[in-house]
Structure 1
Amino acid sequence: MACSISFDIGATSELYSQLTGVLAGFSFTAVIIAVSRSLEPGPAPANPPQADQVKVSLEKAMPVMICSFLGLVITSLTYSAIAGDAKNAGRATIEELVGGLAFSVAGILMFYSIVLLLEAITMADTADHGRRVLGQLVTLISFAYICNGIDDYNDAHFPDPGDPPAWETALTYSLLGFFALYAIFGYLFYHKLPRIGGRDVRRKEDGTLTRGGQDLTPGTHTEPDHHQRVQKIATTSLFFIIVCAIGVGFFSAYGDEPCETAPVGVAVAIMCLSFVIASMFSVWFFLSRGPDRVRP
């Protein structure tokens, strides 16, 4: 069974480890700035409802920011472990898939925290566009990243000139094509899809939310447990990243031979799990988007 592949997993994992470390530093800086700003005393706000909305949005963004920072730190350590085991190409290809799952989730959390911060400082239009890109483009790239790792796995698992089974290739391209079509559909019909709190809620130029011409109290345009859901998504994502890090440690001890790889079913299961995670994130970004602006 061949275990030498054209893709250098070791060198790439080292670069990914450095990248995630730098991103973790940026995330930590953002957390410190947000906390410092919330602790600074200031004059009475000219628009109390808008100030309350900023506070509510910032409280929602903080758990995502913290979990994003911790997730990127753990992912950096995970890629360091993968780089150390890269000479064992058979195992490293599965470790690459598991580490890719963690990197995808941590990256989505990081972009999500940016969107929530933009919403917190009332840059609603910019945040809306960022959420739109995050829900379609970023989630699609995260899944495509895992599909690319499947190709590295096939290079190590199937001897030259062997090819992966037709059903695996068909499944990979089918899922990727379906997600791409779904992303295009979601982008084109973004503002016509349902959202939490209903599409009848609108946003004025000053940030005040209205329903049927009546101003709403900050936070009432969503379901009561909306913030709790955001916190659960952040903490569950962080727990998943930790599980992936443990999984890399498990696979590093898999098999007695360096060229030995896990069964095809394991790689396919990881790919399908990535598809489910990316889809769930994308649907959530649709449902939890902010109200549309009131048109004159």
Structure 2
Amino acid sequence: MNCEIPFDIAQTSQLYSQLTGVLAGFSFTAIVIAISRTLEGARQTAPDAPDEVKGSLDEALPVMVCSFLGLVISSLTYSAIAGDAKNTGRASIEELVGGLAFSISGILMFYSIVLMLYMAKSDDAAKHGRMILGQFITLVSFAYICNGINDYNEVHFRLDGKPVPDWETGIIYGLLGLFSIYSIAGYLIYDKLWRLSGTDHQRAIKRLATASLLTVIACAVGVGVFSAYGSKPCDTPPPWVPISLMGVSFLVSVGFSVWLFLSRKEERRPWRGGSSSGPSDPSSSPLSA
């Protein structure tokens, strides 16, 4: 039975593999630059200056490293998908799993850029980047996953000669519409709502980066599991599998957006040398702004 779809999964997976490999190279370069800049800044810092340099690196570096590793794993995942693309049924669900890994890695990469802007003390640019990342890049990543479900439906429901169920279409467009409303509203009232206080942002950022990397690894393992699914090229998992993946993607995207929204802080005031106010509070790190 013919289960080919108009979308060329093999060609696209190869391109995504190349793209994630290039992005991983950029992430590695950013890590080297951040460490070099921190060491140079530490040598030039006055003895009585606040220890912002090391605190900035402690927050930014875990995100950079997890972003780099996630992009490398995503590149390998897309390479595996390209090799299995002749089995269109399996490839359609593998594409969805790989897309989730790529989306998470991409969000981490953008987040690391925001943190590097804070390290460079470009607060206005970092704030704007944080708003765009939290309210719109996360939306795009979720829309990317929803688009992947369309390829699955092209294979799964074409075999039965039936249209996509209304309940599935309703869930997809309902979540996408809800996320869009939240993103636009959050952007408009970004500076008017509450912020988290009394939170150890360094620890929270490390846990966020680690959890994201573990999710990417789980996606890579999932692609390996689905590569053994079915004995025919047109075999596809039941519809609850892609819907569950979409639900996970929705929670990840919204959760990351909410964290970026609530963890922002007031703009920092420039430090003045010779102040006797003592060391700065670690919880008010500039990267948490």
TM-score by length of 1: 0.86
Question: Aligned partner of 2:156: which letter?
Answer: H
* Superposed CA offset, 1:219-278 (max 9, x none): xxx52x221110011111111101100000000000011100000010111111111110
Question: Aligned partner of 1:145: which letter?
Answer: Y
Q: Does 1:233 align with 2:234?
A: no
Separation in 1 of the partners of 2:28 and 2:265?
Answer: 26
Q: Does 1:48 align with 2:49?
A: yes
Question: Aligned partner of 1:226: which letter?
Answer: H
Identity of aligned residues (%): 61
* Superposed CA offset, 1:189-238 (max 9, x none): 000121122xxxxxxxxxxxxxxxxxxxxxxxx52x22111001111111
- RMSD (Å), alpha carbons: 1.6
1:170 — aligned with what? 170
Does structure 1 conserve the Cα–Cα contact (< 8 Å) formed by 2:96 and 2:149? yes
2:97 — aligned with what? 98
2:186 — aligned with what? 186
1:15 — aligned with what? 15
Separation in 1 of the partners of 2:248 and 2:2?
Answer: 27
Given the alignment, which residue of 261, 264, 271 partners 2:239? Answer: 264
Give the 3 Å change call, closer, same or farther, for CA 47–4 of structure 1 in structure 2: farther
* Matched pairs, number: 267
Separation in 1 of the partners of 2:10 and 2:31?
Answer: 31
Separation in 1 of the partners of 2:99 and 2:114?
Answer: 23
2:5 — aligned with what? 5
Structure 2 counterparts to residues 129-278 of structure 1, below 5 A: 129-159=128-158, 161-197=161-197, 223=199, 225-278=200-253
Report the alpha carbon displacement of residue 292 of structure 1 after superposing the two structures with TM: 3.7
Separation in 2 of the partners of 1:78 and 1:267?
Answer: 17
- Unaligned ranges ≥5, structure 1: 198-221
Structure 1 SS opposite 2:158: coil
Report the alpha carbon displacement of residue 163 of structure 1 after superposing the two structures with TM: 1.1
Separation in 2 of the partners of 1:114 and 1:291?
Answer: 20
* Superposed CA offset, 1:109-155 (max 9, x none): 00001111111221111111000000011000000000000110000
Give the 3 Å change call, closer, same or farther, for CA 285–62 of structure 1 in structure 2: same
Runs of 4+ in 1 over 6 A off after TM superposition: none
Separation in 1 of the partners of 2:257 and 2:201?
Answer: 16
TM-score by length of 2: 0.89
